[in-house]
Every structure is written in C-alpha cells, then in structure tokens.
Amino acid sequence: MKNKTKTQNQVKTRTSRQANCGAALLIALLTAVIVMLAATLLIGLTRRMVTSHQNRIDVAQISLSEASAADGLANLIQENGLSAVSGNLEFSLDGVFTEFSLIESSSIGIRQGFFSHPGADEAVVISAGNRLVIAESIDATTALISFYSGDSFQNTAEFEITTDLIPITGTPFSFEEKNGVIVLFEGSGKSMLCVVTSEGVQATMVIEGRIYTQGSHLSGNISGNSDPLLIISSGSGNGTLYDIATGQTQNLSSPSGTSPTFFSDGTVYGSPAGSSINFGGTGVKDIFNGDFNNDGREDIAFASNYSLSVYSGANGQLFRNAPGGSLVSWGSIDGRMGLCGKWRLYDGTEQWFRLGYDGFTEFSPELVYDAGWSGRFYGSGNTLLGFIEGIASVASSSGYLLELFSEESFTGDVDGADLDFFHSSKDGIDAFFNPANGDGVQLTFTADNTYRSRTTSGQTRIFSIYESNDGRRVFHNLEGVKQ
C-alpha cells in the first residue's frame, strides 16, 4: 500500500514538473512572440520615423529650392521685363527641378506701402535718400531718431539722444557717403543741430536762442574738411551758415527774391552779409536745384509769392520774372516745358511763363498743366504730380487723374527711383511709390517641383512689376501673404 502511494506521488510530481515545464515553455514562447512583435513594431516605427524625417528634409529642400527659383525668376523679369515669361520658366537647384506656369496677368495699380509707427503724425519725418527718418521726443529728457529702409520699410536703426529740447524740423544730409539727416531741436531758449546717420550721432552743435522761424529753409552739405555744414535762411535773402563740427557761424545774404543755399557740389549760393544788395521784399517759399536752361550746369530756382527766379550756375546770371499778381504754381519738366510758372494777375486772369536761354517768355501750356495745381508740381514725361486744391494728385495729358492723399502729405524719394508721396497718421506712414510711372503689372504663377523622381505641386506666387525712370522693380510673395 505504501509502495502504491509512493508511486502515485512520483507520478504526480512528474506530471507537475511537466506542467511547469510546459507553462515555462509557453511563457517563453509568448515572451519571444511579444519581443518579436515589439521588435517588428519598433523596426516599423523606426522606418516610419526615418521615412517621415526624410520626407520633412525633402519638403524643406523643395521649399528652399522653390523659393530660390522664385528669386531667380524675379531677377529674370527684372533684367528682361515681361518678355522673360514667354519662354521656359525652369530652374534646377540641389537636385530639385522647379517649373513655373503663368496662370494670370493683370494690372495692380500704383505701388503702395505702410509702416507702423505710433504717433508719426506728431513727429518730424524726413525723407533722406533711400530711407525715412523719424525724430521724436519720447519723454522730458530723451529724443529718439529712427531709420526705416528697405522695400518693406523695416526699422533698421534707432538712437536715443539725451536732451530736453524738442525736434522741430530737419533736412537730408549725406555724411561720409552715408544717407542721414540734420535734425534741428529747440526749447528752453536754446537750439541744437544734430547730424545722424544709420551708424549713429556724428556731430552736435548747441546754439543760444532759437534759430528757426516758420518758412525758414534748411540746406546741408559738407566743407572741404568733411565738416557737416547747414545753412538756415529766413527766406528773405538772409541766412546763417553753421559749421556743426567746429561751432563756427557766418551770416550770409543774397539778392531779393532768393535765399542763401547750397549747390549739390557744396558751393554756397550767397555772400558774406553786407556784400550783396538786398532790398528785402517778399520771402522765398520754395528752393530747388536742376539744369533748367539745358547748358549742362546746375542752376537754382527760387519761388516767392510773386516771383520765380533762377540763378545760372554757368554764368552767374540771375533771371527773375514777376509779371504782377501772385505766383500760383511752378515746376520743371525736363524735355517738355522746362522751368515754368503760373501767375494769377490782378484782374483775375492767369498767365504762364517759362524760362528760355535769355529769360522768361509767355506761353500757352498743355491742358494737363492747367488742372488747378497749387505750389510746386513735378513731372515725368506727360505726367504731372503735385497738389490740386491741397490734394496730392497725379494727372497726365491723356486725361487721367488720380487723387493720392486728401489730407496733408509730403514728398520724397526713399526707394532711389522717382518721387514718392507720404502721409503721416497716428498709427504710421502711408506711401505711394513712384506714382508718375503709373500702374504696375501683376503676374501669378503656380510651381511644380520634381525631386527624387517624384513631382509635387508647389506654392502659388505673385510677382509685381513696376517700371520707373531708374529702371524696373520686381516684388514677389506667396499668395495670401502681404508684401
């Protein structure tokens, strides 16, 4: 009996061991399966990660190559104009083959721009070469000079000046071949002249008393020693020359109907006070330079309430015209009417005169000249720009008339092409660029990119083309993205 029981126990033990071995084997098999599944999943995940990462690299490569191809297309259009889009528009870069397809062509109007600057309507804004400069007081002891430049007018530099004086006005100034400004500050019975370029403050000069009156004219240049100079004239034939580097001053005078100022080469128009005969009279309200008699030499024109005068840079002659009444509008159109002006005579009639080789003569202008201009007008071909009843406007001999700004505005050339118009508001500055050149052309392209034997659709890109006397300008951006 005992032997039988013992045998049964041994059988049970073997059975239990076999069961344990079977369970262990099953667990091992399950573990192996799980490890294999995990490894398979990990390998799949790794492959997907590698593939996803490679796809991202490919997308980035395609995007960069397409953007570079778009720059290449812009350069091609800039060099060859609209004829550039008539052939194959294909580019290859870093293994990416990009092909552009023109889907739409239309007029885009005059190029406009805006850059934000809170309180711009209360600041001094100066057009200086290819940039705008804003001078403003930011608190009782600090002034800020900000430079804006580039096609999108980004803030490229700004400088704080410790002063309790307030910026009043300023003038463009080129110092060591860098475009800058001379800013005039006043307050507390003092004045300060400050020369600023995009690299910072170059020179300052503090003067006892106030040196600016309403209607004064500022003209900057450099001396033979490269010192910054400024002439401030009252408009009545008297002015003062300031050497901002040394602090020296000199009083100047000029004949009636003119004011001391600089030629572009730095030569001074005007003589030391007392050497010129000046009978006073009406003040000069506009001064501008140009070759008005086509003799290859720079001249200076002066407009007062009653007269239009020109000093010849070639022979030193002064041509003056004052037929009676009031000078209403004036300007110079190279190759067409030249320098001319319109007077409203005492009997209410209007009369035009223009400068010839030996003085002013009466003439009948084209219709576009008689569109009601007030103040100085500017010209380009058959197009005039200026102000009609205080509204900044563009008009052409074809009858085209466009109002730009109905509120107070000013002119300048910040893109190195032609005359631009600006309007300051509390939020920033609006601009019309080169309106004399008319509307631009807008071209819309789609792109296809081939990379690693696979073709994908790219972005829709918009190109804006503007012609000017300075050449052709091309701007491009993605559809739906503002320039």
**3-state secondary structure string across the chain:** CHHHHHHHHHHHHHHHHHHHHHHHHHHHHHHHHHHHHHHHHHHHHHHHHHHHHHHHHHHHHHHHHHHHHHHHHHHHHHHHHHHHHHCCCEEEECCEEEEEEEEEEEEEECCEEEEECCCHHHCEEEEECCEEEEEEEEECCEEEEEEEECCCCEEEEEEEEECCCEEEEEEEEEECCEEEEEEEEEECCEEEEEEEECCEEEEEEEEECCCCCCCCEEEEEECCCCCEEEEEECCCCEEEEEECCCCCEEEEECCCCCCCEECCCCCEECEECCCCCCCCCCCEEEEEEECCCCCCCCEEEEEECCCEEEECCCCCCEEEECCCCEEEEEEEECCCCEEEEEEECCCCCEEEEEEECCEEEEECCCHHHHCCECEEEEEECCEEEEEECCEEEEEECCCCEEEEECCCCEEECCCCCCCEEEEECCCEEEEECCHHHCCEEEEEEEEEEEECCEEEEEEEEEEEEEEECCEEEEEEEECCCCC
Kindly tell me if the per-residue pLDDT of 52 is higher than 70: no
Q: What pLDDT score does 296 carry? A: 85
Supply the pTM of this predicted model: 0.79
Choice among 47-61, 122-136, 306-320 with the minimum mean pLDDT: 47-61
Q: What pLDDT score does 252 carry? A: 93
Please report which confidence band the pLDDT of residue 50 belongs to, taking 50, 70 and 90 as the band edges: low
Pair of tokens at residue 250? 């000199």
Query: Who contacts 429 (Cβ-Cβ below 8 Å, separation ≥6)?
Result: 114, 115, 117, 120, 125, 132, 422, 423
Please report which confidence band the pLDDT of residue 279 belongs to, taking 50, 70 and 90 as the band edges: very low
pLDDT one-digit tens code per residue, 210-269? 999 888 999 999 988 889 999 999 888 889 999 999 999 999 999 888 999 999 888 999
Domain boundaries, the chain: 2-108+440-478
Higher-confidence position of 302 and 150? 302
pLDDT one-digit tens code per residue, 199-208? 999 999 999 9
Nearest alpha-carbon partner for 302 in 349, 269, 344: 269
Higher-confidence position of 115 and 150? 115
Q: What pLDDT score does 57 carry? A: 80
pLDDT one-digit tens code per residue, 386-411? 999 889 999 988 888 999 999 889 98
Report strand pairing: 228-233 vs 217-222.
antiparallel
pLDDT one-digit tens code per residue, 420-475? 999 999 888 999 988 988 889 999 999 999 998 899 999 999 999 988 776 788 88
Average pLDDT of the residues in 283-302? 90
